[in-house]
């Protein structure tokens, strides 16, 4: 045969391949850890990028914000803002530019364990979770049911083992806790119990923040300790689209500032409903709104750690329902990250979401598309990037495991191609041609196979016959087995027993101690 | 609640959403057809891009090509090439640059039906098939078995209905045909019978080309007709890595040139085996090799239609087996497309491959990653992009249907974001804020929902409850149903009965007429 099947169809299963197999060591170094440098994908050409930002400034200057809490209005009017004829609070462009200039550009997101610390900002890309699913994909039934506190605890200790989940914002709501205060406290407790990675949560109302921080201080060993190592950020949406402040969320924002809780300020407008349906118009409005959140925070605390989370969300206009997968949401979130980086701000987007209910080809496809788009685009913090299903209504253990491996491929792609004298390898080529006619066993090959290639351990790379003999499993089945193994064994002891006793004495902790150890 | 779940978790299911649902028309225009403009992703910075190209020129100039057929050597030596001390044929950079300058930059890839014609080259991105799977994923058993001529016919009429498969290179080998001549003839016949899109095939040996073109002429209505509308290109690998010509494939190349068959010249080197393991070194060698194929073609036929198919392939160095999924192959193929476009040549890569055997989350993830990377990177022709499984060893009907929809999302992402006065929509924002506080029903919204959004019809966007009540199907199941529907009804009559009779009289056609109509 003269065509390509000679080269591919028969594959390299000859002598040379066997040599490779014998000589290939197991990779010991992660070739693609979190924190790769993004930005090689620029969905918006420079001129369009500048136009959208200029229009966003114009929206703030001419249309401005409605429903402004008095405390914000007074502070803003004293700092250069103006009320327009409609009584809306408008921010002149120079004022906004001053706010941006004084805003935090980079800050460390702490884990309780310092080895999980990482810096947010610049061109670095990290993936983590967000969301607030109200249902869990049950591992026994394969169907969805209301999510519980025990689920949240299990999700937390699961992600504790997943390298690419760089932080964990509680992925589901404990719907078995009717009281909102107990919900916020127990959500925070589950995060404490299951991981020492950076975490995130939300607060139902302003006066719930202080007690949760008190609990964090107790876990850390004393009053004031959280402020020294603020390992939990608050997810807050202080702006309601289109272009209004939300009074309760503003209150939570100010309380978080008072207590030293870093802020993830999320604008989650919906295309065609609460924001324009045109992607360009959407980005204009949502950028203006995220800037309005930045102004809020920086008016009260210049330079305060805040993530500029401009999350374009799409609805399927056939049904009016939010949908997390597709090309539109991929390109719009990638563009959002580009805008945030253009403004020099630590930016967050929401990607790697899916409308799939099953851990299936739809899920894999939808998540990979938007995760790669946002990652190559250089968004610093990619939320909702693991475990989320069903248009953010559900969370899945199996999906977490599958997504974690997917994110290694994404990080590998973002990492790109290093070009230097050694990697170009002119002499290696010359020697292979003059010598044995292949590259197997060459020193350059040995070095590169460990440094440059990611070897999946969940995905199946076997030949069909081998796969069939092993049971013809799909990824869902393999992921479930992996989950079962982790969840039956990984019960970390991240809360000091004395502190735990004190916390349980002070708060209504609903997760039984017996649930926090092997059955 | 003050946090993001207010906005996402509860979703837009209120009055506004119902208004949207009522008012949303079914999209009638494809918002993201094939042929989008790529290039917004640049995996190689300009300086690295130039360095790799310069090194490739240096490889051709200093290391050169081995095992050169005499006819090629003589022609090349008469055109500026030189033999080096090792007796290898070397091409000075000015000679190569002259060849590139005179090479075909754009050409039309014809379908038998002119509405399937498209132009290859520039920044336009199309997806189609390649490969030569030897196994088919059986729709009844869910396991792989040897692929047959009937499979190939079925795959062909299936893709005839799939909008994003812009051309069809026979995706599988009819392993039930022992004779190589019969194989080539019957492969070509199946392509004729199943589609009028542009097609592609390969030829086992040079003297098989003429009879196949004769059959094409018969189907088109007479001698010479194929040359007027060459709807089938030949996949040829005239270079064997590293840096040798392959005599048989060179023979096929020259015969194709003689008979007017456009050429897809594929270099399919394997990382760490037949090419360097370092991605940069790989691209240096494979670019040099693809240029060697370009030189071959253009020495004999300056400006002849040829696709510069520099396909980086990766092996898993743990086993020595080719693997089609992962970050490395994604970024390397995207970079290959960037190199091809930098050289100004119509370029092809191989992406959207998968190592998965099942139509599962692994498949969805692996295909989406590399398809998006290569598409955003701007490769003109993305081969292997639908239906291929098991590291190109297998093909799947269900995967074809799933991949076709995935490619719509990819095209939508590539399309990007149009920025102009209308799409920026400053006045639309002002009116929404001053008026009803939402964008539902606005003229801009109605226009955008048809023009800017792709609505999938295979993916499931229902809520979990609705999904469960419908049977909790995964995408594989839905794709199978879709396949069964198409294959039980779509029996196109693309060969004139008289021509068919003549073809069957002249050639040993093994696909029974009875198989070409509903059972």
Residues in A closer than 8 angstroms to B472, CB to CB, are 142-143, 357-358
pLDDT at A215: 98
- Taking the CA atoms of A78, A84, A89 and A91 in sequence, report the sign of the dihedral they define: negative
Residue A44 has pLDDT above 50, yes or no: yes
Mutation target vs B (from A12, A282, A320; most B CBs, 10 A cutoff):
A320
pLDDT at B6: 38
pLDDT at B19: 47
Which B residues 58-87 touch A at CB under 8 Å? 58-59, 62-63, 66, 86
- Contact state of A20 with B335 under an 8 Å Cβ cutoff: no
- Contact state of A331 with B462 under an 8 Å Cβ cutoff: no
DSSP B418-463: --SHHHH-HHHHHHHHHTTSS-TT-HHHHHHHHHT----SSS--S-
pLDDT at B21: 47
The shortest CB-CB distance from A368 to any of B16, B180, B368 is to B368
pLDDT in tens, A76-112: 999 999 999 999 999 999 999 999 999 999 999 999 9
The answer to whether B138 faces chain A, any CB pair under 8 Å, is no
In which region does residue B56 sit, left (phi positive, over 0), alpha (psi from -120 to 50) or beta (all else)?
alpha
- Taking the CA atoms of B245, B325, B34 and B405 in sequence, report the sign of the dihedral they define: positive
- Contact state of A362 with B322 under an 8 Å Cβ cutoff: no
pLDDT at A3: 40
What end-to-end distance do the CA atoms of chain A give, in Å? Answer: 60
pLDDT in tens, B435-491: 999 999 888 898 999 899 999 999 999 999 999 999 999 999 999 999 999 999 999
B253: which 2 tokens?
Answer: 């190349």
Beta carbons of B487 and B397 less than 8 angstroms apart: yes
The answer to whether A388 faces chain B, any CB pair under 8 Å, is no
Residues above pLDDT 70, as percent of chain A: 95
- Contact state of A455 with B318 under an 8 Å Cβ cutoff: yes
**pLDDT interval class at A2 (50, 70, 90):** very low
Query: What gap in Å lies between CA B234 and CA B379, rounded to an integer?
Result: 19
Residues in A closer than 8 angstroms to B55, CB to CB, are 424, 426
The verdict on whether omega for the bond into residue A88 sits within 30 degrees of 0, i.e. cis, is: no
Low-confidence stretches of chain B (pLDDT < 50) are 1-27
pLDDT at B11: 40
pLDDT at A317: 81
Which A residues 477-506 touch B at CB under 8 Å? 479
Which A residues 165-204 touch B at CB under 8 Å? 173, 202-204
The shortest CB-CB distance from B423 to any of A5, A281, A391 is to A281
The single-letter DSSP state of residue B343 is T
DSSP A347-370: EEEE-S----SSSBHHHHHHHHHH
Query: Which residues, at least 6 apart from B290, have a Cβ–Cβ distance to it below 8 Å?
Result: B239, B265, B267, B308, B309, B310, B340
Domain boundaries, chain A: 101-415
Q: How far is A222 from chain B (nearest CA, A)?
A: 28
Average pLDDT value for chain A: 94
* Surface-to-core class of residue B205, CB atoms within 10 Å of its CB (0-12 exposed, 13-18 middle, 19+ buried): middle
Residue A16 has pLDDT above 60, yes or no: no
DSSP A48-104: HHHHHHHHHHHIIIII-BBS--HHHHHHHHTTT-EE-TTS-EE--HHHHHHHHHHS-
Report the 10 Å Cβ neighbour count for A229.
17
The shortest CB-CB distance from A361 to any of B322, B357, B364 is to B364
ipTM over the 0.90 cut-off: yes
A399: which 2 tokens?
Answer: 């999906």
pLDDT at A18: 47
- Contact state of B409 with A360 under an 8 Å Cβ cutoff: no
The answer to whether B332 faces chain A, any CB pair under 8 Å, is yes
The CATH number of domain A101-415 is 3.20.20.80: no
pLDDT at A519: 82
The answer to whether B457 faces chain A, any CB pair under 8 Å, is no
pLDDT at B136: 98
- Contact state of B320 with A44 under an 8 Å Cβ cutoff: no
Residue A15 has pLDDT above 60, yes or no: no
DSSP A253-295: HHHHHHHT--EEEEE--BBTTTB-SSHHHHHHHHHHHHHHHHH
């Amino acid at each position: 045969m003269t065509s390509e099947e000679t080269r591919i169809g028969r594959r390299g299963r000859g002598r040379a391949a066997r040599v490779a197999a014998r000589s290939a060591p197991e990779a010991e170094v992660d070739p693609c850890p979190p924190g790769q440098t993004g930005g090689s994908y620029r969905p918006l050409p420079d001129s369009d990028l500048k136009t959208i930002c200029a229009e966003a400034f114009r929206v703030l200057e001419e249309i401005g914000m409605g429903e402004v809490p008095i405390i914000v209005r007074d502070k803003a009017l004293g700092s250069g803002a103006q009320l327009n004829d409609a009584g809306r609070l408008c921010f002149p462009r120079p004022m906004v530019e001053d706010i941006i200039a004084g805003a935090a550009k980079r800050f460390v997101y702490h884990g309780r364990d310092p080895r999980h610390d990482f810096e947010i900002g610049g061109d670095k890309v990290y993936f983590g979770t967000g969301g607030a699913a109200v249902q869990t994909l049950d591992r026994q039934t394969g169907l969805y049911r209301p999510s519980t506190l025990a689920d949240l605890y299990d999700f937390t200790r699961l992600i504790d083992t997943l390298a690419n989940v760089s932080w964990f914002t509680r992925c589901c709501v404990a719907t078995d806790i009717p009281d909102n205060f107990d919900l916020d406290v127990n959500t925070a407790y589950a995060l404490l119990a299951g991981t020492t990675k950076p975490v995130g949560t939300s607060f139902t109302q302003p006066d719930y923040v202080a007690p949760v921080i008190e609990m964090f201080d107790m876990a850390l060993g004393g009053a004031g300790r959280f402020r020294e190592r603020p390992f939990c950020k608050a997810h807050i949406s202080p702006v309601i689209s289109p272009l209004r402040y939300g009074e309760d969320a503003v209150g939570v924002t100010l309380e978080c500032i008072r207590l030293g809780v870093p802020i993830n300020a999320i604008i989650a407008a919906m295309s065609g409903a609460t924001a324009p349906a045109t992607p360009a118009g959407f980005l204009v409005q949502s950028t203006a709104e995220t800037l309005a959140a930045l102004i809020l925070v920086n008016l009260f605390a210049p330079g305060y750690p805040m993530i500029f989370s401009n999350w374009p969300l799409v609805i399927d206009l056939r049904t009016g329902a939010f949908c997390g997968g597709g090309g539109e949401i991929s390109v719009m979130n990638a563009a959002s990250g580009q805008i945030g980086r253009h403004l020099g701000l630590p930016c967050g987007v929401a990607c790697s979401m899916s409308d799939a209910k099953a851990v299936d080809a739809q899920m894999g496809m939808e998540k990979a598309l938007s995760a790669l788009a946002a990652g190559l685009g250089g968004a610093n913090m990619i939320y909702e990037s693991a475990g989320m299903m069903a248009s953010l209504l559900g969370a899945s253990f199996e999906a977490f495991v599958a997504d974690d491996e997917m994110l290694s491929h994404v990080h590998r792609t973002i990492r790109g191609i290093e070009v230097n004298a050694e990697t170009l390898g002119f002499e290696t080529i010359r020697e292979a041609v003059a010598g044995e006619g292949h590259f197997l066993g060459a020193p350059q090959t040995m070095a590169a196979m460990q440094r440059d290639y990611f070897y999946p351990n969940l995905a199946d790379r076997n030949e069909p016959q081998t796969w069939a003999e092993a049971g013809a499993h799909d990824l869902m089945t393999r992921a479930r087995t992996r989950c079962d193994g982790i969840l039956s064994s990984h019960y970390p002891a991240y809360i000091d027993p004395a502190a735990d006793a004190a916390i349980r004495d002070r708060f209504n902790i609903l997760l039984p101690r017996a649930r926090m150890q092997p059955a």
